[in-house]
Structure 1
Amino acid sequence: MIYYIINNNNKNKVQLNERKILLIISHPDDECMFFGPTLLFLQNRKNQIHVLCLSIGNESGLGEIRKNELKSSCKILGIDTENVNIIDHSLLQDGPKINWSHSLISSIISDYVTKHKIEIIITFDEKGVSSHPNHIATFNGARHFIHSSTTSSNIILYKLITVSILRKYISIFDLPLTFILKNQTNLNDFIFISSFNNFIQARKAMTSHQSQLVWFRHLYILFSRYMIMNELQLVN
């Protein structure tokens, strides 16, 4: 079971039941490294989940392997592999020194949203959780789509909130501070907290990415708050 908290001060609550939802990520493994609690919650609410990955993660030449790992991970998370779309575009190659075009990302999103009648988009925020330029570009491309596309008028965009490095690696122990800050700033529309069983499921999805499981990724699984908790904020 996934426990969730909805901001009670939001009078126009977005319903998350039986919707067509698109998660936009930058690389294979982003879906379980950062969005596991969100995806598992949404699956339990009978939503149709789509994943759009903007690169094959080929910085180290493992792109084809990582594509298959992403599909295996999504299957563990309960996502139909037919709803997993992986982009391999010459201008959207994996790498912290490669600048991704916001307008190109916006165009790709527009085509996908139109084809699949997407209602809600979820992605990174302007800090990209790990400050990776590809993550930040993904958010900027999604925001560009929301602000400029004629097909986006009824689309709702949520971003995953970035926290400080200290809070990022104290796992569930960040929960009290999260609630304190939430009550003070009223930032977040949704907080999703995984049960232990769903943490194990997200961990299993993460281990599908065998090509990426260097020693520090095992520490990430144990200590990252994003493996057990997500905060989503509505992008106006």
Structure 2
Amino acid sequence: MVHTHLPRALFLNDSNNGGSAKTRNVLLVVAHADDESMFFTPTINYLTSRGHNIHILCLSNGDADGKGNTRKEELYQASAILKVPYQHVKILDHPDLQDGFGKLWITIYWQRLLKRKSKFLLASSQRKVEAWELVSTNIFRKYSGPVDIWFFKLYSMQCSNKMLHCLVNQQPRKSFLAMAQHASQWVWFRKLFVAFSSCTYVNTLRKMK
């Protein structure tokens, strides 16, 4: 796995003193079932290859078209492809966090949910919690595919004081296999998205303060 990082940014298996790193509990928060496959496969592959315990919290069961139960099962199947255990996947069906166009999520609800889940992981690990976010890019980089790896290197040279990491997906085929488990969503334009999206090939993460 190619792992490009900046000197000031320590990410999970990195170590300040050169010693061996310990296994971490990692909570990946996504809005919808299929986001984990479309956007975060490079991160998930990186973490599983290093033995970290990944938990996925999906904030909506995707019931906008009455397919909530189907999409839940699809997420479990995709998680299996990504080597995330079934019992580590939590899918919410909260009345204030429903999927669909025009639906507005009140920030305070999902913030409370994240706080409760983070407390559980913190109690399990007895370590300080770190938060990382996926860096948004312009539309050109978004659909530049693997070329975005080189754009990140140029970008990082200009932002040496930022805590950034570039996680490159050495198994991009797994993105397609995982997304294909979401059969109800695996339509032609999503196939094109996965093929050309930079998120299939690389995730640029920023440490949140």
Q: Which one-letter code corresponds to 2:98 in the other structure?
A: Q
Please tell me the root mean square deviation across aligned C-alpha atoms, in Å.
1.8
Q: Which one-letter code corresponds to 2:207 in the other structure?
A: L
CA contact (8 A) 2:194 2:200 kept: yes
| % identical aligned pairs | 30
Aligned residues: 199
Give yes or no for the alignment of 1:199 onto 2:196: no
For each residue in 1:116-152, what CA deviation from the matched residue of structure 2 results, as whole angstroms up to 9, or x when unmatched? 33789xxxxxxxxxxxxxxxxxxxxxxxxxxxxxxxx
CA contact (8 A) 1:23 1:52 kept: yes
Distance 1:213-1:118 versus aligned 2 partners, 3 A rule:
farther
Q: How far did 1:62 drift?
A: 1.1
Q: Which one-letter code corresponds to 1:176 in the other structure?
A: W
CA contact (8 A) 1:188 1:231 kept: no
Return the structure number with greater helix share: 1
In 1, the alpha carbon distance for the partners of 2:123 and 2:65 equals 32
Counterpart of 1:112 in structure 2 is 117
Counterpart of 1:130 in structure 2 is none
SS of the equivalent of 1:232 reads: strand
Q: Which one-letter code corresponds to 1:5 in the other structure?
A: T
Matches within 5 A, 1:133-172: 154-172=128-146
In the alignment, structure 2 segments of 5+ residues that lack a partner are: 14-21
Counterpart of 1:235 in structure 2 is 208
CA contact (8 A) 1:21 1:118 kept: no
Matches within 5 A, 1:75-94: 75-94=80-99
Larger RCO (alpha carbons 8 Å, 6+ apart): 2
In 2, the alpha carbon distance for the partners of 1:28 and 1:118 equals 27
Distance 1:118-1:223 versus aligned 2 partners, 3 A rule:
farther
SS of the equivalent of 1:51 reads: strand
Which aligned segments of 4 or more residues in structure 1 are displaced greater than 6 angstroms?
none
For each residue in 1:147-201, what CA deviation from the matched residue of structure 2 results, as whole angstroms up to 9, or x when unmatched? xxxxxx9321100011111111110112222211111123452100111xx1111
The one of 154, 174, 182 equivalent to 1:209 is 182
Q: Which one-letter code corresponds to 2:205 in the other structure?
A: L
Matches within 5 A, 1:122-137: none
Report the TM-score, using the length of structure 1 for normalisation: 0.79
Give yes or no for the alignment of 1:43 onto 2:41: no
In 2, the alpha carbon distance for the partners of 1:14 and 1:105 equals 25
In the alignment, structure 1 segments of 5+ residues that lack a partner are: 121-152
SS of the equivalent of 1:156 reads: coil
Counterpart of 1:132 in structure 2 is none
Higher mean C-alpha displacement, 103-112 vs 184-193:
184-193
